[in-house]
Amino acid sequence: MVKGVASDWKCHLCHYLQTASEMPTNCHSDELGEKYADGVNWDELGFRIIPTDSMYTMKCSDGDNFSQGHLIPYGNIELCPSAGILNYGQGILEGLKATRTEDGRIMLFRPKENALRMKMGAERMCMPSPSVEQFVDAVKQTVRADKRWVPPPGKGALYVRPLLMGSGSVLGVAPAAEYTFLIYASPVGIYLKGRPSLNLYVEDKLRRATPGGTGGIKSVTNYAPLYQEQKEVRAKGFSDVLFLDSVTGKNSEEISSANIFILKGNVISTPALIHGTILPGVTRKSIMEIALDFGYQVEERVIPVEDLLEADEAFCTGTAVTVNPIGAVTYQTRRYMYNLVEYKTGNGAISQKLYETLTGIQTARLEDKKGWTLEVN
């Protein structure tokens, strides 16, 4: 193993390099001649970490710009105890997928949007960030290096996780002196196997985000506060939690890690990005454009819970879930106390049509007329 050294109050990110004997080397080929990692049951992929071959790392000091990064073997990292990410949560994450087409090509979906969102989040968290070009190039390098871990067509995707963190040492409440950009990846299957319609519980006491906070960026601090409520709700048989706005407690905002949409007549609506409490999802943005192409009127607006309960259909979007129908919502009020409100989730549902179109573009089954996809190999 090779370790970096932390000294003079400066923390360096160190990587425990795996030996050749620890690295997976066996692989097999399909009829297209593409090599795949051996020992993976591609038909039973879940949404969990499966270690790949490589990851990407790049550093810079506060006040400087990121320069040349490089690939290293996938493995653990070492941080000094006073690193900004560990003490004050100074970190941003992203998520995107690489998918394999029927003819063996590997495609990314709108990686520039993830790069731009990371830059926006980094500015809010007082961090330098890679340029859009650096971000996209780093993602491409990582996917190429882990090419054999991209599942066969229709079996899943390679989930790519870029991280930006304050890796430098800091004791007082202040930005770190050094930053690390890191990308790792893992093959994943369908986030919700079989895409079952969701059974949501509307949380009317705890809040996910507040105006002026960090709900509109992918800060690493956004998610752990949701775990307790999510765990309790799932123990009661619900799929997930829908959170309301923190000002009035009456308007729908987000599920734990997904945006929400409703359909009423010919109008598709999603909560507006007006207070910085809702994440500007890449899938959200794409679905809005596809819905417009289908002839629907698309609105970004405040959505009271009552509008959700009275909708013709509801669904959520995100990199992990893609597009998933919402089958039921339980909302505890005087009027709808623990009522189960059913939505249209049959074959004619708009969510299914949007899902098929989006995934068709992502996997090149449908022509990409918008220039959203980027071929890696």
Query: pLDDT tens across 57-109, in order?
Result: 999 998 889 998 999 999 999 999 999 999 999 999 999 999 999 999 999 99
Strands (DSSP E) along 50-117, which ranges?
54-61, 70-73, 77-78, 91-93, 96-100, 106-109
Average pLDDT over residues 351-358: 94
pLDDT higher than threshold 80 for residue 323: yes
How many Cβ atoms sit within 10 Å of the Cβ of residue 84?
Answer: 27
| pLDDT at res. 377 | 77
Q: Which of 193, 205, 218, 353 is catalytic?
A: 218
Does the structure show a pLDDT above 90 at 35?
A: no
pLDDT given for residue 21 in this prediction = 32
DSSP H or E segment with residue 131: none
243-276 burial, b at 16+ Cβ within 10 Å, e below that, comes to: bbbbeeeebbbbbbbbbbbbbbeeebbbbeeebb
Question: Which DSSP helix (H) or strand (E) runs through 39?
Answer: none
Q: pLDDT at residue 20 above 50?
A: no
Q: Does residue 216 or residue 21 have the better pLDDT? A: 216
Q: Alpha-carbon distance 130 to 65, whole Å?
A: 7
Tokens of 336: 């709808």
Mean pLDDT of 283-310: 96
Q: Is 218 in the active site?
A: yes
Helices 111-124 and 132-145 cross at an angle (nearest 10°) of 120
Contact 311, 343 (CB under 8 A): yes
In the chain, the amino acid numbered 249 is G
| DSSP single-letter state for residue 358 | H
Token representation of residue 96: 């995107």
Give, in order, the Cα–Cα distances in Å from 32 to each of 28, 53, 102, 106, 257.
Answer: 11, 22, 9, 13, 36
CA dihedral 8, 9, 13, 15 (to 10 degrees): 50
For residue 27, the model assigns a pLDDT of 42
pTM assigned to the model? 0.88
Which of the four pLDDT bands, split at 50, 70 and 90, describes residue 34? low
Q: What is the spatial distance between Cα 114 and Cα 109, in angstroms, rounded to a whole number?
A: 10
Residue 181: pLDDT band by 50, 70, 90 thresholds?
A: very high
Which residues contact residue 47 at a Cβ distance below 8 angstroms, ignoring those fewer than 6 apart? Answer: 159, 188, 189, 190, 191, 320
Question: What average pLDDT does the chain have?
Answer: 87
Rounded Cα distance between 156 and 43, Å, is 9
Burial of 241 (0-12, 13-18, 19+ CB in 10 A): buried
Helix (H, G, I), strand (E, B) or coil at 215: coil
Assess whether pLDDT exceeds 50 at residue 24.
Answer: no
Question: Mean pLDDT across the stretch 224-242?
Answer: 93
Q: How far apart are CA 194 and CA 252, in angstroms?
A: 26
SS3 102: coil
Q: Is the pLDDT of residue 344 over 90?
A: no
Whether the per-residue pLDDT at 193 is higher than 70: the answer is no
